[in-house]
């Protein structure tokens, strides 16, 4: 059996190694357009920022090392330019000498990945504008930084690559601005959770221009102007990080069926619509595990799994299928860690799912053990069934651990209420006896049995102020440092003795700093004949979200140069 793989990195290299482990006799060739067949794509921004200092650390395997271990013929700087499915042949161009030759196959795996989106706007071809997708892109940016010593940079796009690149350029002492067309960074997060990310980025002196669209570029004064709607920013360099699109030119030539944004349609065995051709990685359309809807999820983890499954099916391993992706992800943002899994509110609404949520602020480990840090958790679930839908966690320690537990729970199709039953490890330096994941489960269980009723930020404007009581249960000093207009302050520990100050017959909307004291207060109130609603997330959450909203609305007035 002869297997040809188009593209290396996560998908192609993984498939090649797996096929060899399953079939010692197969002839395996990989054609990779770039000069590197297997490299740490996710580590590229950190080389630019000098976190990774040796360029060889970016290269996971060389053609020589791959051949020694797996006897796979790796051909870098070779581009497959055409496919003839009926003849089962390829046309391949050697990019070093320009020679074109034909290659036959029994099985073909397409792992072409995705290409950076480059908008068709004036000035986009400037030598001061970069994209970051390959090792060559990384070296190009690094060489520019080392030779030109830029003092300022603009990142267009606030996705994972954009945020990581901004952090690393800023670490080099370059004044950095992120321009994002949406009203928030990092779309897997809801806007309220993104507020914590924005705060950390601003705290580290990166300028944020959200809701700003780029209309063009103009080289001027030894630098480049980024032309925005109603204004402009001058910088020494620009990086485009506005997303990627599936690399589908070969798929189109071969007549493969395509889907979202031209992605390659595959079945659960990673087979395309054409016999003997498989596809994996960023170029393929997959199923969202939670909604069951078609999706594009460009992450290394899914690409590796898909490659293994394609290899299994080529080698006739039974029951090897891809069941969809949760899109689990994590990112370092200076001192902060932000992670998500499953779907967010926007996706749930688009899918027509009737959902609810809990927001909590647990400590990363036992409060009595030194060094604990608060994290913010948001867990979504379906109202009637309590099906677990997704989670977002932002904090400083233990975030990745908790998001992985919830991702596992979603994959296992656990109910959100069952999070309370998970038997998770505990020692004071690492967790609490009631782990944050358990705490989320307790809260959801309280909603299920009626002991917790919630209200949220959007409800504030709708509350009938004259027909309800607004109650802040923090201490007097906390209340004086900042509170929501119209709220009456009764500390929770004084509430039982001061119930006469609360008008009977009216619902009570309660808030505290994190949501815990206000929950205790709501139980006191309910036990004394009142109807009480607890604010999800607490004043800390409210204050962060509202401050962020104010800063977004006031940033970069139209018509002003920066």
The model's pLDDT over 229-246, given as tens digits with 9 standing for 90+, comes to 889 999 999 999 999 999
Residue 518 backbone zone (phi > 0: left; psi -120 to 50: alpha; other: beta): alpha
**Per-residue pLDDT for 555 more than 80?**
no
Q: What is the pLDDT of residue 556?
A: 55
**Per-residue pLDDT for 560 more than 70?**
no
- The pLDDT of 394-409, averaged and rounded, is 97
pTM: 0.95
Cα–Cα distance, 545 to 553 (Å, whole number) = 12
**Per-residue pLDDT for 559 more than 70?**
no
Region of poorest pLDDT, from 105-109, 248-252, 550-554: 550-554
Cα–Cα distance, 491 to 502 (Å, whole number) = 13
Which residues, other chains included, contact 52 with Cβ-Cβ below 8 Å and sequence gap of 6+? 43, 46, 58
- Which helix or strand (DSSP H or E) is residue 476 part of? helix 476-481
- The pLDDT of 32-48, averaged and rounded, is 88
Which residues, other chains included, contact 212 with Cβ-Cβ below 8 Å and sequence gap of 6+? 179, 180, 181, 228, 229, 556
Cα–Cα distance, 37 to 12 (Å, whole number) = 9
Cα–Cα distance, 92 to 83 (Å, whole number) = 9
The alpha carbon of residue 5 and the mean position of all alpha carbons in its chain are separated, in whole angstroms, by 28
**Chain segment 134-143, per-residue pLDDT in tens:** 889 999 999 9
Q: What is the pLDDT of residue 39?
A: 76
Q: What is the pLDDT of residue 557?
A: 43
- Give the full edge-to-edge strand order of the sheet including 89-94: 78-84, 89-94, 100-104
User: Which 3 state secondary structure label does DSSP give 317?
Assistant: coil
Contact assessment for residue 519 and residue 535, using Cβ atoms and an 8 Å cutoff: no
Q: What is the pLDDT of residue 60?
A: 77
- The pLDDT of 354-362, averaged and rounded, is 97
**Per-residue pLDDT for 9 more than 90?**
no
Instruction: Give 473's DSSP letter.
Output: -
Concatenated DSSP letters for 266-301? --TT-B-SSTTEEE-GGGEEEEBTTT--EE----HH
Of the listed 42, 315, 468, 558, which one is catalytic?
Answer: 42
- The pLDDT of 441-461, averaged and rounded, is 97
User: Which 3 state secondary structure label does DSSP give 454?
Assistant: strand
Q: What is the pLDDT of residue 562?
A: 43
- The pLDDT of 9-16, averaged and rounded, is 92
**Per-residue pLDDT for 561 more than 60?**
no
User: Which 3 state secondary structure label does DSSP give 549?
Assistant: helix
**Per-residue pLDDT for 394 more than 50?**
yes
Q: Which residue has the tokens 């899914």?
A: 302
Q: Which candidate, 389, 412, 392, places its Cα nearest to that of 403?
A: 392
- According to DSSP, the β-strands at 469-472 and 508-511 are parallel
- The pLDDT of 9-36, averaged and rounded, is 95
Determine whether 315 is an active site residue: no
Q: What is the pLDDT of residue 447?
A: 98
Q: Length of the chain in residues, anyone?
A: 562
Q: What is the pLDDT of residue 170?
A: 97
**Per-residue pLDDT for 558 more than 80?**
no
Q: What is the pLDDT of residue 360?
A: 97
**Chain segment 214-228, per-residue pLDDT in tens:** 999 999 978 999 999
**Chain segment 416-425, per-residue pLDDT in tens:** 999 999 999 9
Contact assessment for residue 327 and residue 299, using Cβ atoms and an 8 Å cutoff: yes
Residue 463: how many other CB atoms lie within 10 Å: 15
- The pLDDT of 261-276, averaged and rounded, is 97
Beta strands in 383-513 (DSSP E): 388-395, 454-455, 469-472, 488-489, 508-511
- The pLDDT of 206-211, averaged and rounded, is 96
- The pLDDT of 489-499, averaged and rounded, is 98
């Amino acid at each position: 059996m002869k297997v040809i793989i188009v593209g290396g990195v996560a998908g192609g290299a993984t498939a090649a190694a797996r096929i060899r482990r399953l079939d010692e006799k197969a002839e395996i060739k990989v054609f990779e357009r770039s000069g590197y067949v297997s490299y740490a794509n996710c580590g590229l921004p950190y080389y630019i920022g000098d976190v990774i200092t040796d360029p060889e650390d970016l290269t996971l395997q060389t053609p020589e090392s791959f051949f020694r271990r797996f006897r796979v013929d790796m051909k870098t700087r070779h581009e497959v330019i055409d496919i003839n499915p009926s003849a089962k042949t390829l046309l391949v161009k050697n990019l070093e000498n320009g020679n074109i030759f034909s290659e036959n196959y029994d099985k073909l795996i397409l792992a072409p990945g995705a290409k950076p989106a480059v908008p068709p706007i004036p000035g986009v071809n400037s030598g001061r504008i970069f994209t970051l997708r390959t090792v060559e892109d990384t070296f190009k940016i690094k060489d520019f930084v080392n030779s030109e010593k830029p003092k300022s940079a603009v990142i267009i796009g606030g996705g994972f690559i954009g945020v990581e690149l901004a952090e690393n350029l800023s670490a080099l002492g370059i004044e950095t601005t992120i321009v994002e067309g949406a009203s928030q960074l990092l779309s897997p997060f809801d806007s309220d959770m993104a507020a914590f990310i924005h705060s950390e980025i601003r705290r580290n002196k990166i300028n944020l221009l959200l809701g700003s669209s780029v209309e063009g570029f103009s080289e001027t004064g030894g630098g480049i102007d980024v032309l925005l709607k109603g204004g402009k920013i001058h910088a020494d360099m620009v990086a485009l990080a506005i997303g990627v699109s599936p690399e589908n030119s070969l798929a189109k030539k071969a007549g493969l069926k395509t889907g979202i944004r031209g992605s390659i349609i595959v079945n659960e065995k990673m087979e395309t619509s054409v016999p003997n051709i498989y596809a994996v990685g960023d170029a393929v359309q997959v199923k969202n595990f939670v909604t069951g809807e078609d999706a594009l999820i460009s992450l290394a983890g899914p690409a590796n799994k898909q490659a293994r499954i394609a290899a299994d099916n080529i080698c006739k391993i039974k029951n090897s299928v891809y069941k969809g992706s949760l899109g689990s992800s994590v990112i370092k943002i200076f001192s902060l860690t932000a992670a998500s899994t499953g779907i967010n509110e926007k996706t749930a609404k688009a899918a027509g799912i009737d959902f609810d949520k809990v927001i909590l602020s647990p400590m990363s480990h036992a409060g009595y053990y030194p060094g604990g840090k608060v994290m913010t958790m948001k867990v979504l679930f379906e109202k009637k069934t309590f099906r677990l839908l997704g989670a977002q966690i932002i904090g400083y320690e233990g975030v990745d651990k908790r998001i992985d537990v919830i991702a596992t729970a979603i994959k296992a199709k656990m109910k959100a209420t069952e999070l309370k039953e998970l038997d998770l490890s505990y020692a004071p330096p690492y967790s609490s006896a009631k782990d944050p994941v358990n705490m989320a489960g307790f809260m959801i269980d309280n909603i299920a049995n009626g002991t917790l009723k919630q209200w949220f930020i959007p409800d504030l404007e709708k509350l009938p102020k004259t027909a309800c009581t607004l109650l802040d249960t923090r201490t007097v000093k906390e209340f004086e440092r900042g509170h929501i207009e119209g709220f009456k302050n009764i500390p929770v520990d004084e509430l039982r003795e001061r119930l006469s100050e609360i008008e009977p017959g009216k619902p009570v909307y309660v808030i505290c700093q994190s949501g815990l004291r206000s929950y205790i207060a709501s139980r006191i109130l309910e036990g004394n004949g009142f109807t009480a609603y607890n604010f999800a997330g607490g004043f800390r959450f409210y204050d962060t979200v509202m401050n962020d909203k104010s800063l977004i609305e006031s940033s970069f007035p139209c018509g002003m140069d920066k």
